[in-house]
């Protein structure tokens, strides 16, 4: 029996509108982000969700809350589902970062390159994968929602589509409050059935976004 994981990127956050790298910095959703979360939760009512996991950062917990309300279950916070830790680049504006040679190298995904005080993409993949593996083991045959961030979904997607982690720059970022549905087979193979789906947001899908 397949296990269905629904990966949700958080709604629009203050970092998205102000265009800075949040990483592990705690920033809330905007009013638009809160409305996106409600729309997304309403769409998810058609899925038989039995458990909800979320990054412990507020932009994810605020996104998870309406899902939990719709299904009448509590969500479980897991710090391993956080965005990549960008060290000294956190809270820096993207205009500033894009002028940095090191940042450009990191964005093209030299897998083992890390900013000072931060993580590289292999670090991120290992902690996110560990969380997902535990969820798969605990919820075999169920449908589970996982509320997380853009880069965790992207690093996982390298495995779903069968490309090396070093090819991460080729993986598009999911949109705010979008869902990516992945069926995990008993043999361990994963099949994407919905990819960054956000048509249910209507006009809210056009809200400005940034990746991290």
CA distance 76 to 50: 12
CA distance 120 to 105: 11
Where in the sequence numbering do the catalytic residues fall? 10, 83
In the chain, domain spans: 3-84+121-149+160-190
Mean pLDDT computed over 189-209: 89
pLDDT at res. 207: 63
Q: For 105-148, how does the pLDDT look when each residue is reduced to its tens digit (9 = 90+)? A: 887 766 788 888 999 999 999 999 999 999 999 999 999 999 99
Q: Is the pTM of this model over 0.85?
A: yes
Cβ(34)–Cβ(59) under 8 Å? no
Mean pLDDT computed over 173-198: 94
As its CATH architecture, domain 3-84+121-149+160-190 has 3-Layer(aba) Sandwich (3.40)
Q: For 147-165, how does the pLDDT look when each residue is reduced to its tens digit (9 = 90+)? A: 999 999 999 999 999 999 9
């Amino acid at each position: 029996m397949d296990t269905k994981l629904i990966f949700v990127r958080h709604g629009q956050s203050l970092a998205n509108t102000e265009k800075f790298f949040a990483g592990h910095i705690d920033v809330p959703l905007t009013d638009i982000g809160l409305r996106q979360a409600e729309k997304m939760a309403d769409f998810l009512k058609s899925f038989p969700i039995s458990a909800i996991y979320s990054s412990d950062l507020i932009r994810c917990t605020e996104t998870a809350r309406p899902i939990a309300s719709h299904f009448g279950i509590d969500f479980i916070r897991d710090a391993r589902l956080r965005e990549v830790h960008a060290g000294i680049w956190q809270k820096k504006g993207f205009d500033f970062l894009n002028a940095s040679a090191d940042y450009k190298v990191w964005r093209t995904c030299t897998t083992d390159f890390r900013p000072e005080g931060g993580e590289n993409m292999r670090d991120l993949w290992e902690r996110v994968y560990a969380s997902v593996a535990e969820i798969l083991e605990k919820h075999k045959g169920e449908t589970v929602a996982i509320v997380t961030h853009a880069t965790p979904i992207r690093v996982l997607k390298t495995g779903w589509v069968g490309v090396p982690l070093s090819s991460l720059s080729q993986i598009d970022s999911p949109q705010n409050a979008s869902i990516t549905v992945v069926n995990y087979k008993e043999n361990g193979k994963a099949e994407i059935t919905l990819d960054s789906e956000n048509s249910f947001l209507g006009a809210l899908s056009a809200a400005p976004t940034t990746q991290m």
